[in-house]
Structure 1
Amino acid sequence: MRPPEGPHRLFGHAERPHKEKIAALKRYQRLNAHTLKPEDGDPAQVDREAIDILRDSYESCIAYIDAQIGRLFADLERRGMLENTMVVVTSDHGEHFNEHGFVGHGQSVYRREVHVPLLIIPPSSRSDLARGVVPEPVSLRDLPATIVDLLAIKDRSPFPGSSLAPLWNSSGSLDPLQATSPVLSEVGHKLHVPRMPLIPATLGEVKALISDGKVYIQNKGVKEEVYDLNMDPLEKSNIVAAENLDPSLTRFRANLKEILAGKPTEVKAR
Structure 2
Amino acid sequence: MSTNVLFLAVDSLRYDAVFGDNSFDTPNLDTLSNGSVVFHNCFAQGVSTAPSMTSLLTGRYPLEYGGHWYIEETQPTIAEQFQNSGYTTGAIHSNPNVSRLRNFDKGFDYFEENIIPIQSDGLLEAAPDDALRYLNKFVRILSKSPYMPVSKVNRKLTDWIASTADPWFLWTQYMDTHGPYLPGGAFTYRNKFRAEKLWRKAAVNSPDEISDEEHEELLTNYRKEVEYFDVELGKFLQKLKEEGEWEDTLIIVVGDHGDEFYEHGLYGHGNLPYDELTHVPLLVKFPRENSVGATDVNELVRTVDILPTALDYVEADLTDEMKERMRGESLIPLIRDDQSPSYDVVVTEKEMREDDHLRFGFRTDEWKYLYDGKNEREFLYDLVEDPDESTDISDSHEETMDAFREHLEDRLDAIEETSEDIHIPAIDEQAGVEEQLKALGYK
Global fold match (TM > 0.5): yes
Match of 2:334?
167
Paired letter, 1:103: Y
Aligned with 2:352: secondary structure?
A: coil
Deviation at 1:213, TM superposition (A): 2.2
Distance across 1 between alignment mates of 2:196 and 2:238 = 40
Larger displacement relative to structure 2 (131-140 or 206-215): 131-140
Match of 1:18?
191
Residues 198-239 of structure 1 deviation map (CA, whole Å, 9 limit, x = unaligned): xxxx9x421001134211111124311112223322211222
Would you say the 8 A contact 2:182–2:191 is kept in 1?
no
Would you say the 8 A contact 1:139–1:181 is kept in 2?
no
Question: Are 2:304 and 1:135 aligned?
Answer: no
Aligned with 1:68: secondary structure?
A: helix
Deviation at 1:33, TM superposition (A): 5.9
Q: For the structure 1 residues 168 and 19, does the alpha-carbon distance in structure 2 shift closer, same or farther, using more than 3 Å as the test?
A: closer
Q: Which structure: greater strand fraction?
A: 2
1:92 equivalent among 250, 256, 259: 256
Match of 2:277?
113
1:188 equivalent among 347, 351, 359: 351
Distance across 1 between alignment mates of 2:192 and 2:317 = 56
Would you say the 8 A contact 2:185–2:228 is kept in 1?
no
Paired letter, 1:69: L
Deviation at 1:4, TM superposition (A): 4.0
Match of 2:406?
254
Would you say the 8 A contact 1:88–1:119 is kept in 2?
yes
Residues 178-210 of structure 1 deviation map (CA, whole Å, 9 limit, x = unaligned): 324842111223536xxxxxxxxx9x4210011
Deviation at 1:123, TM superposition (A): 0.8
- TM-score, length-scaled by structure 1: 0.71
Distance across 2 between alignment mates of 1:149 and 1:24 = 45
Paired letter, 2:336: N
Would you say the 8 A contact 2:183–2:191 is kept in 1?
no
Distance across 2 between alignment mates of 1:107 and 1:117 = 20
Distance across 2 between alignment mates of 1:133 and 1:163 = 17
- In structure 2, the gaps of 5 or more residues are 1-180, 416-443
Question: Are 2:369 and 1:216 aligned?
Answer: yes
- In structure 1, the gaps of 5 or more residues are 10-14, 35-42, 193-201, 264-270
Q: Which structure: greater helix fraction?
A: 2
Deviation at 1:24, TM superposition (A): 8.9
Q: Percent identity among equivalent residues?
A: 27
Match of 1:49?
213
Distance across 1 between alignment mates of 2:221 and 2:241 = 30
Deviation at 1:112, TM superposition (A): 1.1
Deviation at 1:21, TM superposition (A): 4.9
Residues 71-129 of structure 1 deviation map (CA, whole Å, 9 limit, x = unaligned): 122122223322110100012221111111111113321111111111111111113x2
Match of 2:395?
241
Aligned with 1:120: secondary structure?
A: strand
Distance across 1 between alignment mates of 2:359 and 2:289 = 43
Distance across 2 between alignment mates of 1:79 and 1:20 = 39
Aligned with 2:227: secondary structure?
A: helix
Q: For the structure 1 residues 178 and 24, does the alpha-carbon distance in structure 2 shift closer, same or farther, using more than 3 Å as the test?
A: closer
Distance across 2 between alignment mates of 1:102 and 1:2 = 19
Question: Are 2:237 and 1:73 aligned?
Answer: yes
Distance across 2 between alignment mates of 1:22 and 1:180 = 41
Distance across 1 between alignment mates of 2:307 and 2:314 = 11
Aligned with 1:249: secondary structure?
A: helix
Backbone CA RMSD of aligned residues: 3.4
